[in-house]
Structure 1
Amino acid sequence: MRAGRSGRVLSVGRLYCDLIFTELPKMPTLGEEVFAGGLSIKPGGGAFITAAYVAALGRPVSLASALPSGPFAAALMKELEASGVDLSASQPMPDTLDPQITVAMTSGTERAFLTRRAGPAVPETFAQAIASGDFAHLHIGELATLVEAPFLIEQARGAGLSISLDCSWDDAVLARDDLAALIGAVDIFLPNETEAQRLAISPGKKPPAPLTIVKRGPEGSIAITAETTVSMPTQPVNVIDSTGAGDAFNAGFIDAWLSGKSLEQCLAAGNRCGAEAVMRVGGATDLPDLSALAKEAS
C-alpha cells in the first residue's frame, strides 16, 4: 500500500527533551568523571525527528505526541513550532508529570543514552487524528510505543493507512516473546544493525516484516524482503553527532517509498538523510530545505 506525493504522514510516539553532551574525550565509566566539550538541549525522540525530516523533505506531516511540560517546555516549544511539523494531533501534558528526558553522550562514532519515560506514549488526541481521513501513512517512532499501544495497528488499518515502525533499543522490549505478531503487522520495519542482530534478522532468512530495512550507519543500509535483498552503500561524511541519524534515515526512506520509488532509490534517500543528520548537533535542529534530496530519488 503506497500513497502519492500528497500522502500525509502521521508520526506517533514519545517526545523527549534531549540533553546532548558532545566532544567527549571518551565514554564515561563507573567511578570516573568525563568532561564534555559541548552541551545542547533539543527536542528529540524518534517520532519527532522522523517527522521533522519528512517536513524538510517537503511532505506534509503531523506529530501525535505528549508535548513537554515543566521547566523544559519553553526551551523545546520554539524549535518544535519552527520544525514545519503540524502539532495539532499532539496534546500538552500536565506539569505534574516528570519531564521525558534523554541524556545523549557522543564520543566520535560512539554514543550512549540514558532516558526517563513518563506519561503515555500515545496522546488521547491520536484517535481523532487517525479518524480524520487526513493521513496516508502512520510512522511509529519506537517498538516500545507499539508494545504499549498495540491498538495503533488496528486503528491505522481501519483508516486505510500503511505503517512503518522503528525499533529503538530497549532491553525489556526486545526480550519479549510476542514481538513477531506486532512487527509482522506493519509494512516496513526499520531496525539498526545492533537491533537486527538481537532479533536474529539477516539476509537469507524470512524477514520479520514484509519489508525490513537494516540501517548500518557508515556501511549504508540493506532492504530484506521474502524475495530479495538489496544493499546500498553511503558516502563518508564528517560525523559531529549521530543522535537521530536512524530516524532521519526513516524519513528519507518513507518519503521515497510513499512516492513509489524503487528499493534502491528508497535506500539511497534514507542514506542521504542519515548523512545529513550526523553532520549537525541534535536530531532535527535547524534543518535546511531537503526537497532537493527527494527530487534526487526521482
Structure 2
Amino acid sequence: MKDSRDTRRSVACAGRLYCDLVFSGAGRLPAMGQEVFAEGLSLHAGGGAFITAAWLSALDRPAELVATLPAAPFEQTVRAQIADAGIIPSGCATAPYGTDPQITVALPLGGDRAFLTRRAGPALPANVSLDRVGHLHIGELHSLLEHPELIPAARAAGITISLDCGWEDDISPEAAKLIAAVDIFLPNEGEATKLAEAGFADLAPLTVIKCGADGARARIGGVETHVPTNATTVMDATGAGDAFNAGFLDAWLDGKPLDACLAAGNRTGTAAVSALGGTGGISQLEMS
C-alpha cells in the first residue's frame, strides 16, 4: 500500500452524480394537498462524489470524478460545473440512452435540509481505472453496494479507500463486509446511530462521525477523539458532510494528526453551510 504521507496524492471520487434543484426560502415543507412557494431556485451539480471532489480541488488536491452523468436536460449544466470546479472528468460517462434524468430536489430549512431524489441507471461507468490516483473516495454506501468491485480494484492498485454513508432506509447485510474493507468510514451522526442499531458499528479501522454543530469525532482502536467546531449561521446544509470529507482527507493524506484532520474537516464543513448548494461555500473557504 502506498504511504499515506505522500503529499498531494490525487483522489478519485466515485459515486452517483445528480443535478440538485435547490429551492430556497420555502419556509416550511409542503403537506399533502397543499402547495408551498419558494423564494429562489438554483441548479447545482450534486452527489457526494462530485461535492467532495470539488472541495478537494479547491484545497489544491488533484481530484478525478468517476460517475455516470445525469441524463438530458441536465448533463451540460453538470459538465460545465465539473469543469469550473477544476475536477478531472476522466472517469465520467454519458448516461445510457433512455435513462431518466438523475436529479435531487433539495429543501434547506431551519439549519437542516430534506431531499427528494430520483436514482436512475448505473451509478458508475464500466471498467473503472484507478491506476493514476493515490486514494479512492466512495461518495455513498449505496454506490459501493452496486459496485463492490471497487474494493479489489483499489487494493490491486495499492491505494487507500474512504467511504461516506448516505441515508438508507434499509441497510443491506452486505454493507457490513464492505464497510470493514475500507480504511476510513465517514457517516454522519444519524447514519452512525442507525448503523449501530443494525450491529454495524466501528467495522472500519477508522470511523469518523460528522456531528454538525457539535463538530466531529473519530474512533480508532477503541479510542475516541472529538474536535468541536465554531458556531456559524447555516444557510444550506446540503453537501456539508461531503465538504467535511474533503478537508479531513486532504489533511489525512498529508499525514497530519487525527485531531488536525478533524479540525480541517470542520473548517470545510463550516464553509459549506454558509451558501446555497454543496459547493457554493468554496468562495468562503478561499477567503478564510
Partner AA of 1:56 in structure 2:
A
1:178 paired with 2:177, answer no
Which of residues 148, 152, 155 in structure 2 aligns to 1:154?
Answer: 152
Which of residues 26, 29, 44 in structure 1 aligns to 2:28?
Answer: 26
Give SS of 1:87's match.
strand
Give SS of 2:282's match.
coil
**For residue 243 of structure 2, what is the aligned residue in structure 1?**
248
Percent identity over paired residues: 50
Which whole-Å deviations, capped at 9, do the CAs of 1:130-166 have from their partners, x for residues lacking one? 1x3x211000000001111111100100100100000
Give SS of 2:90's match.
coil
Partner AA of 2:86 in structure 1:
G
Written as runs of structure 1 = structure 2, the 5 A alignment for 1:18-97 is: 18-97=20-99
Give the aligned CA root-mean-square deviation in angstroms.
1.8
Alpha-carbon distance in structure 2 between the residues aligned to 1:223 and 1:44: 26
Q: Which moved more, 1:113-122 or 1:31-40?
A: 31-40
Which whole-Å deviations, capped at 9, do the CAs of 1:94-142 have from their partners, x for residues lacking one? 442111111111112131111111121121251xx21x3x211000000
**For residue 100 of structure 1, what is the aligned residue in structure 2?**
102
What TM-score, normalized by structure 2, do the two folds share?
0.93
Alpha-carbon distance in structure 1 between the residues aligned to 2:141 and 2:201: 19
Aligned partners of 2:187 and 2:208 also within 8 Å: yes
Which whole-Å deviations, capped at 9, do the CAs of 1:17-64 have from their partners, x for residues lacking one? 101111121222223222212111110000000000000001111001
Alpha-carbon distance in structure 1 between the residues aligned to 2:8 and 2:252: 13
Q: CA deviation at 1:199?
A: 0.8
Structure 2 unaligned residues grouped into runs of 5+: none
**For residue 229 of structure 2, what is the aligned residue in structure 1?**
234
Give SS of 2:91's match.
coil
Which of residues 137, 140, 151 in structure 2 aligns to 1:139?
Answer: 137
Alpha-carbon distance in structure 2 between the residues aligned to 1:91 and 1:72: 14
Alpha-carbon distance in structure 2 between the residues aligned to 1:199 and 1:112: 20
Written as runs of structure 1 = structure 2, the 5 A alignment for 1:219-298 is: 219-285=214-280, 287-288=282-283, 290=285
Aligned partners of 1:17 and 1:41 also within 8 Å: yes
* Pair 286,210 (structure 1): closer, same or farther in 2 beyond 3 Å: closer
Alpha-carbon distance in structure 1 between the residues aligned to 2:239 and 2:190: 15
**For residue 296 of structure 1, what is the aligned residue in structure 2?**
none
Written as runs of structure 1 = structure 2, the 5 A alignment for 1:117-136 is: 117-126=119-128, 129-130=129-130, 132=131, 134-136=132-134
* Pair 213,266 (structure 1): closer, same or farther in 2 beyond 3 Å: same
Alpha-carbon distance in structure 2 between the residues aligned to 1:22 and 1:292: 24
Structure 1 unaligned residues grouped into runs of 5+: 294-298
Which of residues 156, 160, 163 in structure 1 aligns to 2:161?
Answer: 163
Aligned partners of 1:12 and 1:138 also within 8 Å: yes
Aligned partners of 2:235 and 2:274 also within 8 Å: yes
Q: CA deviation at 1:75?
A: 2.3
Give SS of 2:100's match.
coil
Which whole-Å deviations, capped at 9, do the CAs of 1:220-263 have from their partners, x for residues lacking one? 00001123100010001111111000000000001100000111
Aligned partners of 2:271 and 2:284 also within 8 Å: no
**For residue 184 of structure 2, what is the aligned residue in structure 1?**
188
Q: CA deviation at 1:194?
A: 0.5
Aligned partners of 2:274 and 2:284 also within 8 Å: no
Partner AA of 2:164 in structure 1:
D
Alpha-carbon distance in structure 2 between the residues aligned to 1:135 and 1:289: 28
Aligned partners of 1:79 and 1:285 also within 8 Å: no
**For residue 207 of structure 2, what is the aligned residue in structure 1?**
212
Q: CA deviation at 1:86?
A: 0.3
Q: Which moved more, 1:153-162 or 1:60-69?
A: 60-69
Equivalenced residues, count: 284
